[in-house]
Amino acid sequence: MNEIVAKVLQASGFDSLNPAQQAALDKGLLEGESLIVAAPTASGKTLLAEIAALDTIMNKGKKVVYIVPLKALATEKYEEFKSKYDPLGLRIAISIGDLDSTDPWLADYDLVIVSDFGHGFLTDNLINLICKHSKFLAVNTQTNSANMGFNLITEYTNIDYVALDELEIRYAAHNRTGELRSIMKIIAPKIHCKNLAITRGIHGAVSFCKELGFLSSPALATQVVDTIGAGDAFLSFTAPLAALEAPMDMVLFIGNAAGALAVQIVCNRESVSPVELKKFIATVFK
């Protein structure tokens, strides 16, 4: 019997799979196949999800999100999974919209990165929890067609590092035409932000902090195929650097290098790899 299947069966108190579960395994459940399992209530569909989840975590080194439609069910499954899989070394967490906790569990992490797409998942309670307990907090509040003008960085406070594009900070300031640096000087203290970085496309990036003032870095892209994901790449590479207190001119430069690689990738089909980033930076310095 497959080791993962055996672990899930043992944790669940079963000796074997039922025919529907075995059919799902035979169809490639553990071989990367996308499956839709249709079966009656209480026929073991959740067990299949647990098998796939455990395989993804333990064999593929990835994380899993298990989504249910009701808060009560989310709490029930959280408690069940925690009791079953904590002994295997898995870390189980729950996120429900109005969760209000005084447990400062976020303080256990050196860096918390928030990429807020403005779809309502991050409620006021969650935002307050994040802002209160994060050891180092990096935030991007993305503007898109579904939240235009409503998903603003001003919903956050006590932020160590913010990465936005120029349109996003202009929305936050309600200022379409004003001088960008003036806007940055207004927004940074308003949200109690230590380091504020703004990407400007072909005009590069600029940062502001009270101690150093303004720093800038030129754009490095020579070929633009698709700009989708460039801001995410910038945030992903610069937030850890900011948390390590790297010089902000270096942070901006590496962020622009990551962005230059990201704009050559169509529709986020792949991530910007550290190896390619190192090669690109070496090329720039030749």
Residue 268: what residue type?
N
Put simply, whether the predicted model's pTM sits higher than 0.75 gets the answer no
CATH architecture type of domain 105-284: 3-Layer(aba) Sandwich (3.40)
Three-state DSSP state, 147: coil
What is the rounded CA–CA span in Å between residue 72 and residue 124? Answer: 20
**Helix residue ranges, H only, 44-150:** 45-58, 71-85, 124-133
Region of 215 (left: φ > 0; alpha: ψ -120 to 50; beta: rest) is beta
- pLDDT in single tens digits along all 286 residues of the chain: 789 999 999 999 999 999 999 999 999 999 888 889 888 888 899 999 999 999 999 999 999 999 988 878 888 999 999 999 999 999 898 877 555 555 567 888 899 999 999 988 788 888 998 999 999 999 999 998 888 889 999 999 999 999 999 999 999 999 999 999 999 999 999 999 999 999 999 999 999 999 999 999 999 998 899 998 899 999 999 999 999 999 999 999 999 999 999 999 998 788 999 999 999 999 999 8
Which among 239, 118, 231 is positioned nearest to 164, based on CA atoms?
231
CA 70 to chain centre: 23
In the chain, DSSP finds a helix count (H) and a strand count (E) of 10, 6
Count of CB atoms situated within 10 Å of the CB of 79 = 12
Q: Read off φ and ψ for residue 227, nearest 5 degrees.
A: -80, -10
Give the pair of three-digit tokens for residue 28. 């490639």
Question: Domain boundaries in the chain?
Answer: 3-64, 105-284
Give the pair of three-digit tokens for residue 197. 């970085």
Q: Do residues 225 and 263 touch, judged by C-beta distance below 8 A?
A: yes
